[in-house]
Amino acid sequence: MKAHIEAELTRAGLMHHVPQILIPMEKVYQIKNGKKTSKERSYFPGYILVQGELVGEVTHTISSVNGVVGFLGGKDHPSPLRMSEVNRILGKVDEIAEQGESITEPFIVGETVKVNDGPFSGFSGVIEEVHEDKKKLKVMVKIFGRRTPLELNFIQVEKE
């Protein structure tokens, strides 16, 4: 979609009014078959951020691209985001990129999870503690009939 918008603006000779088009992305890590894999996903699915002067034919050119439904604030009169919102969005994206790991859903104490990596792969347990800052969990797993505490990374477990 971003490429289509850029192509239409370039074809119409209006690209100088739009210096930046951004799709906020975040990196998500998962463990599949014992291997850590990463993929990027859109931070705001369905939204594209456009920085520029929406003067003259720029608004019409962007809205005429197939797949563009409208603008934030209305189809004909887009309203700009406040600078604080832009900084928050860009700051959040930068924070996620620096952080390196992101989980899709937060873990909650008392929730049952399944270990999918390490020597206890396949075991199920209950979350006893969540350490967001370290990206670690304390999980109680029954091994040979005894409750055993395990300290695991967020990416080593999955919700059941």
- The total of structural domains in the chain comes to 2
- What the block records as the tokens of 144 is 């040979």
Whether 123 and 94 map to the same domain: the answer is: no
Q: Phi and psi of 26, rounded to 5°?
A: -130, 150
- DSSP state string for 40-105: EEESSTT--EEES---TTHHHHHHTSTT----TT-SSS--PPPHHHHHHHHHHHHHHHHH----SS
* Domain region containing 89: 2-99
Q: For residue range 14-29, what is the model confidence (pLDDT) as tens digits?
A: 888 888 888 888 777 7
> Global pTM?
0.52
How does pLDDT run across 111-134, given as a tens digit for each residue? 999 988 878 888 999 999 998 888
Give the whole-angstrom CA distance, residue 4 versus residue 15: 12
Domain-embedded: residue 72: yes
